[in-house]
Structure 1
Amino acid sequence: MSVIDCVYLPADKVVFPPELALLIVRKASAMAAAFEEQALDQLTKDARRALKHGSDPRRVIRAMRL
């Protein structure tokens, strides 16, 4: 048996409904927006804490890889 003849390869192509694709894209977009908001909040919180403790802003920039 060659690699190409393996039974785990799909024989038929699955028709992907456009409505399902659209819903997946919308869900992924909403998830990305929520993640972006959380990341922004966390980065801002971390930067404020570092500045409050007397860190130099340039050091904070380097530490956060901005």
Structure 2
Amino acid sequence: MSVIDCDYLPTEKVKIPAELALLIIRKARAMAAAFEEQALDQLTKDARRALSQGAEPRRVIKGMRL
């Protein structure tokens, strides 16, 4: 049996109700915002640490791939 002919994959499409789709979108947006905030905090913390240890700003930029 080839990968394409496998019988264990669902063939029916499941329709997601609009209310559920909206809740999923809202949750994903909230999760993305939280992740963005954490990433911003971590990058800022790392940059401040490097600068306080005497690193040149250009080196920090290169090291952080900005």
Aligned length, in residue pairs: 65
Aligned-partner Cα distance in 1 for 2:53–2:7: 61
CA positional deviation for 1:10 = 2.0
Which residue is equivalent to 1:52? Answer: 52
For 1:33, give the aligned amino acid.
Answer: A
1:1-66 to 2 correspondences below 5 Å: 3-4=4-5, 6-66=6-66
Amino acid at match of 1:63: G
- Tell me the C-alpha RMSD between the 2 structures: 1.5
Shift of 1:13: 1.8
Please tell me the residue identity of whatever aligns with 1:60.
V
What are structure 1's unaligned runs of at least 5 residues?
none
Distance 1:15 1:40 in 2: 37
Task: Give the TM-score of the pair, scaled to structure 2.
Answer: 0.87
For residues 7 and 22 of structure 1, the distance between their equivalents in structure 2, rounded to whole angstroms, comes to 32
Compute the displacement of 1:33 (Å).
Answer: 0.2
Q: Which runs of 5+ in 2 are unaligned?
A: none
Question: Identity rate of aligned residues, in percent?
Answer: 75
